[in-house]
Structure 1
Amino acid sequence: MTDAIPQVSEHGAVWWGTYPEAGLGTPSGLGEGLWRQTAADAHLALELPTPSFVVAHPDRALLYAISETDDTEVHAIDVSDPEQPRVVSTVLTGGASGCHLLLSGDARTLYVSHYMSGDLAVVQLDEQGMPLADVPAQVFGHEGSGPREDRQEASHAHSAGFGPGGHHVLVADLGTDELRRYAIQQDGLLEDHGIAATLPPGAGPRHFAVRGEWIYVLSELDHRLRALRWDAASGTAAVVFDIASTTAPQRTGDEINDSHVLLATDDVLLLGVRGCDVISVVDLSPEGEPRYRGCFDAGHWPRHFAVVGDRLHVGAERGHEVRTFALADVLALPPEPEVGHIATLPFSTAPLPSPACVVAHPA
């Protein structure tokens, strides 16, 4: 570890959504909220119940944060004065335990994934980035289950993203081992078009990244990265490549839980693996094949991470810290010298209770 790397660029800041300090599943509203991290420090800027996922408006000083509670809410937050952010609008989404937000490219629609109820909600925004109503324009439920009785007893929508070509919203359903498919209409509303892909039973798809015709799906339950090739004519995808998310051994917790996948560059994927407590570096061939290179120590329970400028910011949820790595060091990680090797890279650290999500300061 070193303090030679600044926490963030001296020209900007990042925002962190946090769980209650005692962790996910404990009562909310006990001091968690949005933290602002600058080159000088990290501090609680706004108390909110369990803001586990945050996205930024591309043009306005607005953040959108989801409260992962039984009655999920999405908050629009004015950060024009970053030292005194304030909630300016709240939408009750109609689902339980909302855990992910997806903002459309034109910043006129939010797509809200709910883990416990399995719903996908659609929240329309006006030209100023404010919700058009205090309830969603649409809510899509889903039925189904998987073989893991403890985790797949019902649908669990864990995240949403745009499919190749940008004509569909795809939902990674951990409970049903499916990528659900919704066609995007001109106004941002959706039409349910069924299932784009079915993964092996017990996979538990959590997050995915898209590059060209390829969808890279990270599965939480079976610790695999799968590369699916998209067929635009049918709106479906099929598994072509399948590799382990890491060779590293489990080090903490009761089981391994893969967490997040990020396309760091056009030919490098980063995978978070909790329990092993590493981020894996995976190279992508021109033909789309993923090739595991190695992994590095990312702190206790790396839940979410993002590249901001020339740095990689990692939230170590159970370690109650955020780590910042030079992206160049991550991309230069050498191949593992032996199976299971965990590399150590220089990083700076800041204490922060139960970090769940990071997003760059909006423009």
Structure 2
Amino acid sequence: MTSPNASDRRGPLVYVGAYTPDMEGRGTGITVCRQDPATGLLGAPSAAIPAISPSYLAPHPSGRFVYAVSERGGEGAVGAYSVQDERLVPLGEVSTLGAGPCHLAADPTGRFVVVANYGGSVTVHPIADDGTLGEAATHVRLTGSGPVKERQASSHAHQVTFADGGEWLVVCDLGSDTVYHLRFDAEAGTIAEGPKLTLPPGTGPRHIAYGPAGFAWLVGELNATVTPLRADPITGALTIAGKPFVLSGGQGVPSAIVASADGRFVYVANRGPDTVSVLSVGGGGIALVEETPTGGAWPRDVAIVNGVLYAANQHGDTITAFRCDPDTGALTPLGVAMTTGTPANILATR
């Protein structure tokens, strides 16, 4: 039996979602491993928990459960898993009532999971005491389009996050160049209209990373930019706080964005150039620190765990690791942390 002191010395669990053959991937489900706090590398992964294209994962606030989308070409699903030490036990799945679920988040009260369907909708699913999910209690369809016809012919919800303690649900709609700021009722699981932020045509808002003092940064997938945002101290509504910063000369297809714990640096994965852009964002302005190759192909996600940044190289079948300098933000390569089929998302929990 592991003593409490030995358990405390162990690094956090790291879960990796992947694309499986139904979505032209080489993954087999969700893999689980543990970070080595001394080296920053990842231990040997578990046998994958079978799942259909679990491309994005989210934790329950209690840490007892993990939820994963099942990003299918047709109507997708969201699955629940019980955390049993270093194993995930499947608890079943329910339909998301939309195509291509690509992001999800549990509300801070732990009562609901909200899912973004790339097909243009958002669903809210109740969580039972045992962690299982119910059928959608709320289904909101989004509308709109943008000038990039091959990518913006219709709405494409790409991220759902909670702000201001869960009172507000923020939705990035890549298809309509819109960030929705919706009021969320954590008792009923309902969504009400709120202020929305319209980005320049062709931005393609994909993901937002939040920092301290009301600052946030939005990555535009279609125009390869990072735009600084500021939240209103009373309403929480987001507004543009400065000029967008163009990534990699505008040539890449940026994906994930993550902020350092102190909010001084932002890290953005760039597919195509296959780099991570390290940006200094202190005071709201944006400046390039460095552009670091990931050592793999098509980085779809990045995550920071105990001062180590991991990049999920979707086409390279690797997760590479970098030590983050807390003073400069610069990255020092640590090598390949894991080899796994078509990694799409990295989630760390304890």
Shorter-chain TM-score tier = 0.7 to 0.9
Q: CA deviation at 1:17?
A: 0.6
The answer to whether the aligner puts 1:306 opposite 2:325 as a matched pair is no
Matching residue within 122, 125, 128 for 2:127: 125
Deviation at 1:309, TM superposition (A): 1.9
AA in 2 matched with 1:73 = A
CA contact (8 A) 1:71 1:92 kept: yes
Change in 2 beyond 3 A, CA 1:235/1:36: closer
SS at match of 1:162: strand
In structure 2, what is the Cα distance between the partners aligned to 1:55 and 1:146? 29
| C-alpha RMSD of the superposition | 2.4
Runs (5+) with no aligned partner, structure 2: 1-8, 35-41
1:297 aligns with 2:293: yes
Distance 2:300 2:161 in 1: 18
**Cα distance in 2 between the residues matched to 1:90 and 1:147:** 36
Partner of 2:60: 57
1:89 equivalent among 86, 89, 92: 92
Looking at secondary structure, tell me which structure has more helix per residue.
Answer: 2
Partner of 1:213: 214
**Which residue among 303, 311, 316 is the counterpart of 2:313?**
316
* Structure 1, gaps ≥5 residues long: 1-8, 251-255, 335-342
**1:145–1:155 Cα contact (<8 Å) kept:** yes
Q: Identity of counterpart residues, as a percentage? A: 27
Instruction: Report how many aligned residue pairs link the two structures.
Output: 331
Residue 41 in structure 1 maps to residue 41 in structure 2: no
1:92 and 1:155 mapped to 2: Cα distance?
19
After superposition, give the CA deviation of every residue in 1:242-283 in whole Å (9 maximum; x if it has no partner): 233433685xxxxx2110111122211111111111111111
Aligned 8 A contact 2:29 2:52 in 1: yes
Shift of 1:112: 0.4
Asked whether the 8 Å contact 1:164–1:214 carries over to 2, the reply is no
Query: 1:63-212, aligned counterparts within 5 Å?
Result: 63-69=66-72, 70-80=74-84, 82-83=86-87, 85-116=88-119, 118-131=120-133, 133=134, 135-164=135-164, 166-187=166-187, 189-211=189-211, 212=213
1:346 equivalent in alignment to 2:349: no
User: In 2 relative to 1, CA 161–12 (structure 1 residues): closer, same or farther, beyond 3 Å?
Assistant: closer
TM-score by length of 1: 0.83
CA distance in 1, matches of 2:345, 2:310: 10
For the Cα contact (< 8 Å) 2:321–2:333, is it kept in 1? no
When residues 31 and 191 of structure 1 are mapped into structure 2, their CA distance, relative to the original with a 3 A threshold, is closer
* 1:355 matches 2:340: no
Q: Which of the pair has the greater relative contact order for Cα pairs under 8 Å at 6+ separation?
A: 1
Q: Distance in 1 between matches of 2:104 and 2:124?
A: 10
Partner of 1:253 in structure 2? none
Of 298-307 and 225-234, deviating more is: 225-234
Q: Kindly tell me: are residues 124 and 331 of structure 1, through their superposed partners in 2, closer, same or farther at Cα, counting changes over 3 Å?
A: farther
Could you tell me whether the CA contact under 8 Å between 1:164 and 1:210 is conserved in 2?
no
Q: Is the 8 A contact 1:164 1:213 kept in 2?
A: no
Structure 1 counterpart of 2:89, one-letter code: R
Distance 1:301 1:236, change over 3 A: same
2:257, 2:209 → 1: CA distance? 6
Q: Is the 8 A contact 1:246 1:295 kept in 2?
A: no
Moved more, 38-47 or 137-146: 38-47
Asked if residue 277 in structure 1 is aligned to residue 281 in structure 2, the reply is: no
SS in 1 for 2:304: strand
Secondary structure of the residue aligned to 1:150 is helix
